[in-house]
């Protein structure tokens, strides 16, 4: 038995003992307790540097753990943005003090993180953001609004991008900050989505003061910092897919078709084959990305392929579920309503982390080397752009 086999055996034994009987949607207290146990057992931050609280192991151990955790119910949802995006960004471009202060509590589930990028007028074109940060003595003062902030209500900290220089082109006057979500100037309002839950929130900043040592990366270098976060986001969303049990998976849908006597129906079989092919394509693509990561090759923009494949797979799974289950798909027939929730959440995956259209643009431009989209505003100072409320200010 190799060391990796032994690692996998121990991981499965741990998961069997700790992650089999947890509720699918655990409350925050249970989720935090689970994260602490996961960390103490050595399975949180497997590849993260040991000096900041990680395990300092390789991508091979990470992959083995993910395989072992495939069928486990791990209530890690509230920590996904911290683990998938904020932590990796801090490790890539944070200061030594930031890494020492924030990484370990993030890995242990003691502090929850959110990503404060999107605004009402800045989603796909996030560089058009209007939240301002102005230097005032010993602090940056932030005013503005963010929207669609996942886990904003539970979060202790957020990675915020704000405009720090409106006199230069839009990509050049942005800075990334660590913001304390408990600051009295931060107001969080939940937004109800069509799953019936409040997964995301709108967040208002009123004169929030942020110390200069909470800048992540360079002042006015926030675009590069945001791109770092977004690359991690796409890889973690796309590759995370293989880790979670999906209520509309090929296995679940084949079983549903079998139990309804639909397996001989040619149209149903056709749909199941399509679902299987998409699932395999995503699995194989992710397996290849993992092998490359192990060999030291970073996925970069190819994370967008995994993200797009996942978004399309979830929509396809939702269509197949509607076809096979009919009204039961939305009628909470399965007791917990997991299929119904998967159906109403599926369209969100075609938006969150970048829309399918934007993923295709990125794949065309940065993976396939096709000509870039024209960007007529690339050299215009932000102040002169007609975006959001500036259109009104300019009287247009």
Ligand X SMILES: Cc1cc2nc3c(=O)[nH]c(=O)nc-3n(C[C@H](O)[C@H](O)[C@H](O)COP(=O)(O)OP(=O)(O)OC[C@H]3O[C@@H](n4cnc5c(N)ncnc54)[C@H](O)[C@@H]3O)c2cc1C
User: Which positions lie near ligand X, rule CB under 6 A?
Assistant: 81, 114-118, 123-124, 148-150, 200, 348, 351-352, 354-355, 357-358, 361, 373
Instruction: Work out how close the CB of 19 gets to ligand X at its nearest, in angstroms, rounded to a whole number.
Output: 24
Can you say how many angstroms the Cα of residue 15 is from the centroid of all Cα atoms in its chain?
23
Instruction: Work out how close the CB of 375 gets to ligand X at its nearest, in angstroms, rounded to a whole number.
Output: 9
Query: Where does the chain have alpha helices with state H?
Result: 3-18, 28-40, 59-68, 80-81, 87-93, 96-107, 222-240, 250-259, 266-294, 303-325, 338-349, 356-362, 390-393
Q: Which is nearer to ligand X, 54 or 317 (CB)?
A: 317
Say whether 15 sits in a helix, a strand or coil: helix
CA dihedral 132→135→139→140, nearest 10 degrees, is 10
Structural contact between residues 309 and 284, judged by C-beta atoms closer than 8 angstroms: no
Residue showing the smallest CB distance to ligand X in the complex: 123
Gap between the Cα atoms of 81 and 151, Å rounded: 8
Residue 76 half-sphere exposure, CB side, CA atoms within 13 Å? 25
Q: Return phi, psi of residue 203, to 5°.
A: -130, 130
Q: Which is nearer to ligand X, 56 or 364 (CB)?
A: 364
Q: Which is nearer to ligand X, 5 or 125 (CB)?
A: 125
Instruction: Work out how close the CB of 57 gets to ligand X at its nearest, in angstroms, rounded to a whole number.
Output: 28
Instruction: Work out how close the CB of 146 gets to ligand X at its nearest, in angstroms, rounded to a whole number.
Output: 6
User: Quick check: is 6 catalytic?
Assistant: no
DSSP string, 248-311: TSHHHHHHHHHHTT-TT-HHHHHHHHHHHHHHHHHHHHHHHHHHHHHTT---GGGHHHHHHHHH
Q: How many CB atoms sit inside 10 A of residue 378's CB?
A: 11
Q: Which is nearer to ligand X, 118 or 248 (CB)?
A: 118
Gap between the Cα atoms of 381 and 129, Å rounded: 13
Q: Closest by alpha carbon to 68, among 6, 2, 3, 1?
A: 6
Q: Which is nearer to ligand X, 55 or 149 (CB)?
A: 149
Instruction: Work out how close the CB of 41 gets to ligand X at its nearest, in angstroms, rounded to a whole number.
Output: 28
Please, which residues have CB within 8 angstroms of residue 43's CB and are 6 or more apart in sequence? 11, 14, 55, 65
Q: Which is nearer to ligand X, 210 or 359 (CB)?
A: 359
Instruction: Work out how close the CB of 364 gets to ligand X at its nearest, in angstroms, rounded to a whole number.
Output: 10
Catalytic residue among 61, 111, 233, 312: 233
Gap between the Cα atoms of 276 and 394, Å rounded: 53
Question: For the chain, how many residues are written?
Answer: 396
Instruction: Work out how close the CB of 117 gets to ligand X at its nearest, in angstroms, rounded to a whole number.
Output: 3
Q: Which is nearer to ligand X, 53 or 354 (CB)?
A: 354
Query: What residues act catalytically?
Result: 233
């Amino acid at each position: 038995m190799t060391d990796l086999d032994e690692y996998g055996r121990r991981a499965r034994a741990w998961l069997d003992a700790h992650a089999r009987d947890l509720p699918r949607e655990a409350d925050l207290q249970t989720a935090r307790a689970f994260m602490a146990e996961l960390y103490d057992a050595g399975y949180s931050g497997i590849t993260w540097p040991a000096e900041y609280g990680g395990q300092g192991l390789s991508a091979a151990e990470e992959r083995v753990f993910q395989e072992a955790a495939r069928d486990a119910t791990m209530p890690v949802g509230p920590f996904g943005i911290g683990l998938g995006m904020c932590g990796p960004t801090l490790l890539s471009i944070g200061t030594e003090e930031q890494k020492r202060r924030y990484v370990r509590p993030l890995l242990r589930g003691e502090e929850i993180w959110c990503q404060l990028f999107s605004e009402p007028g800045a989603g796909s074109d996030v560089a058009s953001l209007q939240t301002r940060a102005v230097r005032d003595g010993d602090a940056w003062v932030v005013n503005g609004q963010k929207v669609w902030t996942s886990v904003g209500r539970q979060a202790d900290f957020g990675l915020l991008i704000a405009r720090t220089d409106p006199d230069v082109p839009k990509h050049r006057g942005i800075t990334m900050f660590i913001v304390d979500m408990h600051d009295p100037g931060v107001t969080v309002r939940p937004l109800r989505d069509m799953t019936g839950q409040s997964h995301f929130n709108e967040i208002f900043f009123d004169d929030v003061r942020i110390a200069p040592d909470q800048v992540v990366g360079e002042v006015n270098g926030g675009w590069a910092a945001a791109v770092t976060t977004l690359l991690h986001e796409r890889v973690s969303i796309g590759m995370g897919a293989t880790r979670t049990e999906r209520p509309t998976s090929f296995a679940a849908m084949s079983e549903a078709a079998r139990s309804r006597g639909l397996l001989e129906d040619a149209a149903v079989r056709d749909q199941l084959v399509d679902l299987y092919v998409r699932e395999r394509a995503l699995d194989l693509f992710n397996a290849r990305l993992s092998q490359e990561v192990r060999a030291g090759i970073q996925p970069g923009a190819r994370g967008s392929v995994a993200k797009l494949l996942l978004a399309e797979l979830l929509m396809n799974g939702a269509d197949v579920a509607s076809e096979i289950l009919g009204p039961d798909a939305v009628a909470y027939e399965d007791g917990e309503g997991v299929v119904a929730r998967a159906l109403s959440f599926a369209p969100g995956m075609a938006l969150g982390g970048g829309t399918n259209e934007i993923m295709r643009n990125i794949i065309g431009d940065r993976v396939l080397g096709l000509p870039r989209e024209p960007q007529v505003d690339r050299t215009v100072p932000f102040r002169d752009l007609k975006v959001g409320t500036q259109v009104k200010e300019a009287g247009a």
